[in-house]
Amino acid sequence: MDLLDELEKRVVCGDGAMGTLLLDDGVRMSRCFEELCVSEPERIQKIHESYITAGARVIETNTFGANAVRLQRFGMEERVSEINRAAVAVAKSAARNRDICVAGCVGPLGITARDAAARGIDRARCFREQITALLEAGVDAIFLETFTDFDEIEIALRAKKTVSEAPEICSFACRPDGRLRCGAILGEAFNRLREMGAKILGVNCMNDPAEMVVLLRQLPAEFPLAVYPTAGRPRLRDDRFHYDVAPQSFADAARDLVAKGARLVGGCCGTTPAHITALGSAIANLPS
Ligand SMILES: [Zn+2]
């Protein structure tokens, strides 16, 4: 699928959460979720397949934290390439020969600029290493997501641009007031990324669908937006996280999100295949 072309023609349904489903499935919080692509690929493939069956046409690889800095917490910093390649293989097996866009998920490094400097970490190199592995393994796009710091996504985007011209999605986690944690205004951050050649911008995590609608009101709907709300705030009950936005109410917000410029809509933390099923039919019923 040519993602940009597709987004011009229609609203596209993305997938839902991976991490919260794994926790629900009994995977311990202390585990390295990304490594499961190597040790338990069937488990990850089943989740991708359930999202595709639900109607997702863009799926994200299970590689949010598959960079050297985050993998180092598990003593796996030497396995960046192996884990990312395995994740792409699993997602591609789930997609088989269907018209699905496999997007390589890239999250923040999880350290501040100051930490990186103090530890002598070359952030651009870390992003380049992960993104190169994803692209070489054959992803159709790169999905930079849940960034809260403008400088960091800028470094990631530059690194991506040195490797390939494949489409990329640049998505921030931003509060409904439109101000990023680093202090920048989201609308201005979008403009700067557009100047750098980013074609698809977006917001994910942090907000439920209603809060996303508030956030989108402050943005110009001039370019295709990717919007991945959460299913509400997690509440810990009986050792499990519960999210309070039910699939139908999640999907009911799709109309408002699309009216504000969303062209790719999926789900972040707490969303399940049931949310994506409801979302997919809501999108299909929108006037084109
Ligand atoms: Zn999230």
The model's pLDDT over 109-123, given as tens digits with 9 standing for 90+, comes to 999 999 999 999 999
Q: Is residue 259 part of a domain?
A: no
Whether 226 is covered by a domain: the verdict is: no
- 230 C-alpha to center of ligand 1: Å? 6
Centre of ligand 1 to C-alpha 262, Å, is 17
pLDDT digit string (tens) for 68-83? 999 999 999 999 999 9
CATH of the domain at 95: 3.20.20.330
Look at residue 220 in the predicted model and tell me its pLDDT: 76
Per the domain annotation, does 147 fall within a domain? yes
Q: Is residue 112 part of a domain?
A: yes
- Centre of ligand 1 to C-alpha 206, Å, is 6
pLDDT at 288 over 70: no
For 55-71, what is each residue's pLDDT tens digit? 999 999 999 999 999 99
Range of the domain at 97: 19-220
Ligand 1 centroid–CA 202 distance in Å is 13
Ligand 1 centroid to residue 34 C-alpha, Å: 15
Q: What is the pTM of this model?
A: 0.96
Measured between alpha carbons, how far is 140 from 135 in angstroms, rounded to an integer? 8
In a domain, 238, yes or no: no
Cα atoms in the 13 Å half-sphere on the side-chain side of 64: 16
Let me know if residue 234 belongs to a domain.
no
Residues that place a CB less than 5 A from ion ligand 1: 205, 268-269
How close is the Cα of 98 to the center of ligand 1, in Å?
A: 27
Tally of structural domains, the chain: 1
Question: Is residue 264 in some structural domain?
Answer: no
Is residue 251 included in any domain, yes or no? no
Q: What is the mean pLDDT of residues 153-164?
A: 97
Residue 25: exposed, middle, or buried by beta-carbon count in 10 A (0-12, 13-18, 19+)? exposed
In whole angstroms, what is the distance from residue 7 CA to residue 223 CA? 10
